[in-house]
């Protein structure tokens, strides 16, 4: 039995075994990836507060490009895993080829559109006097958007067939390459913030070449079947059912981050935005174990749906929720206690030193969101895998507008009020998403003509 066949057997087997088999490599990949983002910010903080502010302001625009690839990747993961659960390997291979084809088209179209929108979006997001630095950082991403998108697509394709280790290898290769290239480009070649963007683009180019080589050389369980670029409508539909709502969800978040950041800037100025974004880095870092479990849920639940095994889906959801809650309670407490030590990482220039106290305060308040966001992620994964991704997108839309409303009120009070409004909104959204998740599982059971015997 080949490695690919063993990976698929684990994916379709015991939910506990599948969950840990998928989540462990993904955790390592996400950890290294997020450390790379933090290191990126630390290197840029050495340039000064203006440069770090420009990177922070540009983040929503950069995230829009990443969102297209991430959405397609999640859609492909769900569609291909479901096809493999139904023992339809040939159609799964066509779906993989269709995914690459769609990514190339979307990359060209999105780059053309974003070329005209990037500067206005950065300006609305709070660019102001830093707009020149923002565009200096963003332009390399606009030229190389295909490779940015392929990161999410290739890792999604690999997870769909249970090949979590290869997905990890790709992600870690990109992160390590970026960590090595960052100081070389930023300081060695004197490129400043533009160097940080070029380093990221080159790292994604490297893994795109590696990933496509694996598929085209037959090293994976699935092959890329392009079929003269003609694919059955069913394949497009299966990818689109999850992929389009997920892409919209991932696009919606950074788009609505732009007015959110503008509200933060209106209250605390550019320095307030630096504190707001970089203090939340530690929450993101604490969310990585939960993100690994939640991302692993999508192919496992999709395959179980293809097998028409609702009991397996429920067992996997309960296990994930128990682990996520336990981990995030511990990690949230750690962030709260160690906040003053953690913020030391960003004190690399005199202009950053003046923000120390405010960043420590924000980090402590944000610690509770490490729990709330993690549970939200579990609920979103359940909706995506069960082909109710549109509901997850609607929930994202509601959540971001609640953020806008609470920030609008809070920015008239103080930056501390903004920090607390983030926690309160995340708590309310967590409770709503848990209720929606239970509702979705009832719908799945009904659609399969089964009676639920257990309660999540």
- 72/356 Cα distance (integer angstroms): 39
* Closest residue by Cα to residue 313 from 127, 441, 132, 404: 441
pLDDT at 333: 92
Q: What share of the chain is helix, strand, coil (3-state, %, to 5)?
A: 85, 0, 15
- Asked whether 410 and 420 are in contact (CB, 8 A), the reply is yes
Contacts of residue 51, defined as CB under 8 A and 6 or more positions apart, other chains included, come to 44, 45, 133, 192, 193
- Output 88 or 378, whichever has higher pLDDT: 378
In the chain, the percentage of residues whose pLDDT exceeds 90 is 8
How confident is the model over 59-106, as pLDDT tens digits? 767 777 777 777 777 777 777 877 777 777 887 878 788 788 878 888
DSSP per position, 394-409: HHHHHHHHHHHHHHHH
Sequence-distant (6+) residues with CB within 8 A of 105 are none
Q: For 102-147, how does the pLDDT look when each residue is reduced to its tens digit (9 = 90+)?
A: 788 888 887 787 777 777 777 766 555 667 777 777 778 888 888 8
Q: List helix spans (H) across 307-338.
A: 310-337
> Please, what is the Cα angle at 62 between 59 and 65, to 5 degrees?
150
pLDDT at position 453, please? 44
The token duo for 402 is 């609640």
Q: Is the pLDDT of residue 33 over 60?
A: yes
Q: Of 398, 117, 424, 418, whose CA–CA distance to 277 is shortest?
A: 418
Q: Quote the pLDDT of residue 451.
A: 46
pLDDT at 452 over 60: no
Concatenated DSSP letters for 435-451? HHHHHHHHHHHHHTT--
pLDDT score of 372 more than 90 = yes
> Measured between alpha carbons, how far is 366 from 148 in angstroms, rounded to an integer?
29
Closest C-alpha among 430, 444, 174 to residue 312: 444
Q: Which of 324, 424, 340, 437 is nearest to 388 (CA)?
A: 437
Query: Largest alpha-carbon pair distance within the chain?
Result: 65
Q: In terms of pLDDT, which residue wins out, 126 or 312?
A: 312
Contact 134, 122 (CB under 8 A): yes
Residue among 91, 84, 99, 68 nearest 229 (CA): 99
Cα 6 to chain center, whole Å? Answer: 27
User: pLDDT at residue 240 above 70?
Assistant: no
Q: Among residues 180, 159, 184, 182, which one has the least CA distance to residue 169?
A: 159
Residue-averaged pLDDT of the chain: 79
Kindly report, residue by residue over 271-302, the tens digit of the pLDDT.
Answer: 787 788 778 878 888 888 898 888 888 888 88
Cα 270 to Cα 49, 56, 155, distances in angstroms: 9, 10, 35
Of 328, 218, 247, nearest to 284 by C-alpha is 328
pLDDT computed for residue 166 by the predictor: 82
Token pair of 57, please?
Answer: 């302001």
pTM: 0.69
pLDDT for res 431? 93
CA-CA-CA-CA torsion for 308, 440, 375, 290, nearest 10 degrees?
Answer: 30
HSE (side-chain half, CA atoms, 13 Å) at 433: 29
The mean pLDDT of 432-443, rounded to a whole number, is 89
Q: Closest by alpha carbon to 179, among 348, 26, 41, 345?
A: 41
Lowest mean pLDDT among 215-229, 254-268, 411-425: 215-229
Q: For the residues 32-59, what does the mean pLDDT come to?
A: 69
Alpha-carbon distance 377 to 324, whole Å?
A: 10
Where are the strands (E) in 50-164, listed by range?
Answer: none
């Amino acid at each position: 039995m080949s490695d690919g066949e063993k990976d698929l057997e684990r994916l379709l087997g015991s939910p506990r075994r599948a969950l840990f088999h998928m989540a462990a490599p993904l955790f390592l990949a996400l950890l290294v990836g997020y450390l790379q983002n933090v290191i990126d910010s630390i290197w840029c903080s050495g340039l000064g507060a203006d440069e770090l502010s420009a990177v922070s302001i540009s983040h929503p625009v950069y995230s829009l490009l990443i969102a297209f690839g991430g959405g397609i990747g999640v859609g492909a993961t769900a569609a291909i895993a479901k096809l493999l659960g139904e023992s339809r390997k040939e159609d799964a291979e066509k779906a993989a080829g269709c995914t690459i084809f769609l990514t190339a088209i979307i990359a060209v179209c999105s780059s053309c559109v974003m070329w005209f929108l990037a500067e206005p979006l950065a300006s609305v997001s709070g660019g102001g006097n830093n707009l020149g630095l923002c565009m200096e950082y963003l332009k390399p991403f606009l030229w190389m958007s295909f490779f940015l998108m392929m990161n999410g697509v290739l890792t999604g394709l690999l997870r769909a067939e249970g090949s979590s280790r290869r997905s990890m290898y790709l992600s870690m290769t990109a992160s390590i390459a970026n960590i090595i290239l960052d100081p070389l480009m930023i300081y060695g070649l004197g490129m400043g913030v533009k160097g940080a963007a070029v380093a990221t683009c080159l790292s994604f180019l490297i893994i795109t070449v590696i990933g496509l080589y694996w598929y085209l050389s037959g090293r994976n369980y699935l092959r890329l079947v392009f079929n003269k670029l003609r694919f059955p409508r069913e394949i497009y539909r299966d990818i689109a059912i999850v992929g389009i709502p997920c892409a919209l969800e991932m696009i919606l978040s950074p788009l609505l981050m732009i007015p959110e950041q503008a509200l933060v800037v209106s209250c605390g100025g550019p320095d307030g935005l630096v504190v707001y974004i970089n203090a939340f880095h530690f929450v993101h870092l604490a969310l990585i174990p939960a993100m690994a479990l939640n991302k692993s849920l999508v192919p496992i639940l999709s395959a179980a749906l293809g097998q028409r095994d609702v009991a397996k889906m429920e067992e996997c959801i309960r296990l994930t929720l128990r682990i996520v809650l336990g981990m995030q309670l511990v990690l949230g407490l750690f962030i709260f206690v160690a906040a003053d030590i953690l913020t030391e990482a960003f004190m690399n220039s005199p202009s950053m030193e003046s923000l120390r106290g405010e960043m420590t305060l924000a980090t402590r308040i944000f610690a509770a969101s490490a729990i709330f966001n993690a549970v939200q992620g579990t609920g979103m994964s359940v909706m995506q895998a069960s082909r109710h991704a549109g509901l997850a997108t609607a929930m994202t839309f509601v959540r971001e507008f609640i953020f806008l409303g609470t920030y609008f009120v809070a920015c008239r009070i103080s930056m501390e009020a903004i920090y607390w409004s983030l926690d309160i909104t995340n708590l309310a959204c967590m409770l709503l998403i848990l209720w929606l998740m239970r509702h979705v599982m009832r719908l799945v059971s009904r659609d399969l003509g089964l009676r639920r015997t257990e309660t999540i």
